[in-house]
Amino acid sequence: MANTYTQIHIQAVFAVQNRISLIEANWKDELYKYITGIVQKYDHKVLQINGMPDHVHLLMGFRPTQALSDLMQMVKEDSSKWINKNRFVKRKFSWQSGYGAFSYSKNQVPRVIKYIQEQEKHHSKRSFLEEYEELLKIHEVEYDKRYIFKPIE
């Protein structure tokens, strides 16, 4: 669209179904590359991606040509199919429904990139749920604890 200028930085956080630690070190980089490809296919830009065996953080430069919910549906749907097709896990892989999305100004991006790069360090001190609730609180997102990512069953 002519005369449309934006600078939108979004961090999306999403979890494996039931927060089971299924993303293994030997294929997680391939997964991150695959997710990056999905995001790029829709003309957005991945600035950083990393996570833990049970969840992913994705920081992107987001274009206003698509609804974030549509992009996240495609990321989760396509990557689930890819994981299952490649038989990276013994059971059927799926992502938990829902996700968190948080916006940042340009001057915050380097800090968020570093934070995402250091996921292993952060999770040596706190759980995913503690991290996620902190993100919700920092960004002043109202939430109901009953609907935050399901606990491990």
C-alpha distances in angstroms, 1 versus 7, 63, 95, 100?
15, 11, 33, 28
pLDDT in tens, 128-150: 888 888 999 999 999 888 777 76
Strands of the sheet containing 9-15, edge to edge, are 45-52, 55-61, 9-15, 100-104
Would you kindly state where each structural domain of the chain is located, as residue ranges? 9-147
Q: pTM of the entire structure? A: 0.91
Predicted local confidence at residue 56, as pLDDT = 98
Q: Which CATH architecture has domain 9-147?
A: 2-Layer Sandwich (3.30)
